[in-house]
Structure 1
Amino acid sequence: MISMVTNLGTIRVQLDLEKAPITGKNFLWYAGNGHYNQTIFHQIVPGYMALGGGYTEKFEEKPTQFWIRNEAFNGLKNRKGTIAMARRPDQADSSTCQFFFNLADNPHLDHASRKNAAEYGYCVFGRVIEGMEILEKLNHLSVRDQGDFPSVPTPAIVIERVGT
């Protein structure tokens, strides 16, 4: 289990290292190295998802490691309250550090086939076990476009630290 302390409160997530070992270990590596500390949720789409883990409050991109293999075929579904890895829309195996919380059931993000990146899906690797009220708060924040960043929450939602 990991704890994600934000300026809205703490979210506790149970990682599924059995069904998503590569993804879970990747997330734990970034967390263990302090990567997520003082990052923000830089995009929130109400009724859809909250994306974070890649930028500071000044929108400076955090350095990343190599891309990891997409484990979206693991049977876990993009349901409300799950955490999944973000990736490039055109590259199935392009996840690094950014993640998102599903703020609703998002079956269109589930693995459908290995034909192309669009159908490959987004890898779920855990679920919220405490702090769903924080996700509800995220889901109801005001958002605005800020330069190249769409749907930025106001005020900024800071991930103060992530740890086990």
Structure 2
Amino acid sequence: MNPSASRLTRRAVAACLAAATLCVSSGAYAEENAPRVKLVTSAGEIVIELYPDKAPKTVANFLQYVRDKHYDGTIFHRVIPNFMIQGGGYDRRYDEKPTRAPVAHEGREALEKGGPRNVLGAVAMARTGDPHSASAQFFINTKDNAFLDPIVIPPGDPVPRFEYQGRVYENVPRDALLRAPQLYGYTVFGKVVNGMDVVRKIESMRTGAGGPFPSDVPRTPVVIKSATVVS
């Protein structure tokens, strides 16, 4: 996987923004007895609460990378103010770390279970244009990003009525909507419950070119020193 294909790019985000039309509320989501992971970074500590009952495969995938120490020594390589910070894939030399096979996208299923959305502090999987390509990289939303949410397909086959990009479609085959890449969005699997000030600190850092990336790389590297399960 080449660097340009393995990160959440501006072009992909712009495409999502142009495509998404269904806005959602930014209500909080919490789960009792949810596992938590602590990221000790060079900028401070961040604690993430995970939701295995809503996105079980995604959470299991993330926890396995934590247990394998995959994230230790990786950097936040993409930081865009008023949007998100992304990391988990590259070391300080900008070498991409090897990953396991991708995890199946389950963002839509998570929403159907009442799961979390891409709101401020929510943690989601980064991916390429292929909805089922997420592996280890993740991002933390630094604002409510409803346009990144999966679009839940209304019931019926064919779907009697579906509104998209300001147009109304009638009697659309359900499978066509379920397979449409632009409707998948990004799978949220957790939320920052401690250390949002650290996230803001990273978000505010000066950025520029770094390694294979032409922009958005913190000029002072932000290293994840360790990632551990704490509950």
Match of residue 189, structure 2, among 114, 119, 125: 125
Paired residue type of 1:116: A
Name the SS for the 1:12 alignment partner.
strand
Q: Does 1:152 align with 2:192?
A: no
What residue number does 2:43 align with?
8
What residue number does 2:180 align with?
116
Instruction: Report percent identity of matched pairs.
Output: 37
Paired residue type of 1:83: V
Structure 2: any 5+ residue segments left out of the alignment?
1-35, 153-177
1:1-164 residue pairs with structure 2 within 5 A? Answer: 1-73=36-108, 74-75=110-111, 76-88=116-128, 90-113=129-152, 114-149=178-213, 150-164=215-229
For residues 199 and 46 of structure 2, the distance between their equivalents in structure 1, rounded to whole angstroms, comes to 8
Which moves more between the two structures, 154-163 or 114-123?
A: 114-123
> 1:154 offset after TM fit, Å?
1.6
Name the SS for the 1:136 alignment partner.
helix
For residues 64 and 205 of structure 2, the distance between their equivalents in structure 1, rounded to whole angstroms, comes to 30
Paired residue type of 2:206: S
What residue number does 2:15 align with?
none
Which moves more between the two structures, 16-25 or 115-124?
A: 115-124
Contact 2:43 2:222 in 1 (8 A): yes
For residues 56 and 85 of structure 1, the distance between their equivalents in structure 2, rounded to whole angstroms, comes to 18
Contact 2:94 2:212 in 1 (8 A): no
Measured on the aligned residues, the alpha-carbon RMSD in Å equals 1.0
Aligned residues: 163
Deviations along 1:59-99, one digit per CA (max 9) or x if unpaired, are 011000001111111122100101100010x2011000000
Contact 2:94 2:211 in 1 (8 A): no
For residues 43 and 203 of structure 2, the distance between their equivalents in structure 1, rounded to whole angstroms, comes to 12
Structure 1: any 5+ residue segments left out of the alignment?
none
- Runs of 4+ with >3 A deviation: none
- Structure number with greater Rg is 2
For residues 144 and 179 of structure 2, the distance between their equivalents in structure 1, rounded to whole angstroms, comes to 23
For residues 45 and 180 of structure 2, the distance between their equivalents in structure 1, rounded to whole angstroms, comes to 36
TM-score of the pair, normalised by structure 1: 0.96
TM-score of the pair, normalised by structure 2: 0.69
> 1:115 offset after TM fit, Å?
4.0
Which moves more between the two structures, 141-150 or 56-65?
A: 141-150
Comparing both structures, which one devotes a greater share of its residues to strand? 1
Name the SS for the 1:161 alignment partner.
strand
